Structure formats: C-alpha cells, structure tokens
Amino acid sequence: MTLPNGQQVPIVSYISDEFTDELPRPSPPKRHIMDLLSLKGKVAVVTGACRGIGYAVAETYAEAGATVILVDYVDCSKQALVLGAQHKVVTKSFQCDVSKVENVEATILAIELEFGTIDIFVANAGIVWKTGNITDEANKDGTTWHNLMDVNLNGVYYCAQHVGKIFKRKGKGSFIITASMSGSIANVPMNLTPYNVSKAAVKHLAKSLAVEWAGFARVNSISPGYCDTGLNDHLSREARGKMWSLVPLGREALPYEIASAYLYLASDAASYVTGSDLVIDGGYTCI
C-alpha cells in the first residue's frame, strides 16, 4: 500500500496474531481435482472411530490413501487392522477418554512421536442424551449434564488445544469437528436440550478457531442429521418413524453418506474453506 507521502507500507492481517505475513497471501497452484482429493502422504486422526460416522470417516480416509489413526474410548484395534489390510495403508488404534485432558495430551503426543506429525484431526467422539427432560429425577444432581459436556464439548476443546500446537509448529493442518443439526435447531420428537447445547457450542468453537488459527490451519464443522449409527437404537420404532416423517428425504442417512464431506474438508480441494459448517440432514432443517 502506498501512503500519500509515497511511503510503501506492507498490508498485513490483523485478524489473528499468527497471521502476520504480507497480504495477499499466495494462492495454491491449480491441480487436478482427483489429486486435490487424495490424502496420500497425510496422517489423519479420527476420534470416536470404532463405529458409525467415525468409522466411516476413517475408512474414507484410508480409501483416499492416508495413514489413519483410529481413536476411541474402547479398543478398536480390530477395526484398524481391517482397514489397513483392505486398503493397503498404515493404520493404528489408540484408546483414549477424550473427557480427560491428560489422556488427550498423552495420546496426541504418542501419535506425533510415532508418525512424525498430524495433518488432519477429526474430533468426532460424542455421546447422546438419553435421560429426557432436564427436570426429570434422573437429572437432578447435574451429573448427566456434566458427563455429556465433558465428552461433547470439553473433549473437543482438549483435542483442539493439543493438536493445534502441532499445526502451529508445522504451519498447516485441518481440524474438523462433528457438530449436529441439533446445534442449529431444537429437534423433535426427543428431549435433547443438553445435547443440542453441546453441539451448538462446538459449532461456534469451530468458527472461533477458524479465525484464531487463520495463519496456520483450517477449522470446520459438519452437522449431520439423523444417521443410522446405532446411537438411536434405544428409541422405539414409533419414535424413529416420527423422525423419518420429519426428514424430507424420508429416512436416516447411512454413515458413508456423511463421510464424503469429511474427505472434502480434509483435502486440499477445500483450501479456501474455513469456519464453515456443512449441514447434511436430508433437508430436516429446511422445514
């Protein structure tokens, strides 16, 4: 930029303390779309990877050529072995309780030590609210609320806090949070207020981090609608029928229908996408 006195002043961004280089920043070179979508040479970590959307994302990343690390509260070593054998990629599993910051820190450190880096991190681990109205007896002491928030919100924060340090050191990375359409609406017919609140929170966490990390990483969220992951198996056929009747496409999604969005956001095809929330709900939030 040239001042009236003729002095040349560099244009810099004041959006983020980490984003201090001169503007405009260089754009990435144009590449073939299939090359952009490839994850070969990248290390991807997925939490809540033992089943459902998490496993579908891990499988999709394996298909795209990534080294895939499956992280879950339970042992998912068998799933990791299957993915590695089927797709001829390196896979490994780690057990981690994301609600415990010391577990998260140790797991991310162990992954970095073994694989050298982390390029993609999907904070997918979450639990559903099963105890009805917040005024019900089961919820009187706040334990159910805190248990859910410890996983759905605090766990995502802990993951971001520790993998963000890796992204900052290397100057790049993609952090993807599994939010939910429930973070945008009060879905029926179930009483899910605490779950809805947790997902609204992580959706805004993604937007806030997208700005805070603008100089070194992209951050986005995905908001699935009703998906056949097993989390709704406790509901009656009548309740699930009500759910289906409220979805314009008339059914739940299958996990692989959601996973393709995670591939896009993780890949170089999404190099200009940050702070976005992709809603994949069969049209539920349209009505």
Is residue 121 in a domain?
yes
Q: What is the DSSP string of 29-97?
A: PP--HHHHH--TT-EEEEES-SSHHHHHHHHHHHHTT-EEEEEESS--HHHHHHHHHHHT--EEEEE--
Is residue 98 in a domain?
yes
The upper half-sphere exposure of residue 51, i.e. CA atoms within 13 Å in the direction of its Cβ, equals: 9
226 labelled catalytic: no
Report how far residue 249's alpha carbon sits from residue 224's, in angstroms, rounded to the nearest whole number. Answer: 14
Q: 217-261, pLDDT tens digit by residue?
A: 999 999 999 999 876 777 778 878 888 899 999 999 999 999 999
Task: Classify burial at 101, counting beta carbons within 10 Å of its beta carbon; exposed 0-12, middle 13-18, buried 19 or more.
Answer: middle
Report how far apart the first and last C-alpha atoms of the chain are (Å, whole number): 48
Question: How is residue 240 written in tokens?
Answer: 């699930």
CA-based radius of gyration for the chain: 20
DSSP secondary structure code for residue 26 in this structure: P
16 labelled catalytic: no
> Annotated catalytic residue: which of 195, 226, 262, 284?
195
pLDDT at 4 over 90: no
Q: 185-225, pLDDT tens digit by residue?
A: 997 778 899 999 999 999 999 999 999 999 999 999 999 99
For the ranges 11-25, 86-100, 128-142, 193-207, the lowest mean pLDDT is seen at 11-25
* Domain boundaries, position 85: 38-280
> Annotated catalytic residue: which of 42, 92, 199, 203?
199
Is residue 15 in a domain?
no
> Annotated catalytic residue: which of 38, 93, 174, 180?
180
Is residue 27 in a domain?
no
Domain count, the chain: 1
Is residue 285 in a domain?
no
Is the entire prediction scored with pTM above 0.85? yes
Report how far residue 137's alpha carbon sits from residue 125's, in angstroms, rounded to the nearest whole number. Answer: 27
Residues 6+ away with beta carbon under 8 Å from 142: none
CATH number for 86: 3.40.50.720
The strand pairing partners of 78, in sequence order, are none
127 CB neighbour count, 10 Å cutoff: 17
88 labelled catalytic: no
Is residue 206 in a domain?
yes
Is residue 119 in a domain?
yes
- Average pLDDT score, the chain: 92
Q: What is the DSSP string of 78-117?
A: HHHHHHHHHHT--EEEEE--TTSHHHHHHHHHHHHHHHS-
pLDDT at 2 over 60: no
Is residue 5 in a domain?
no
Report how far residue 208's alpha carbon sits from residue 210's, in angstroms, rounded to the nearest whole number. Answer: 5
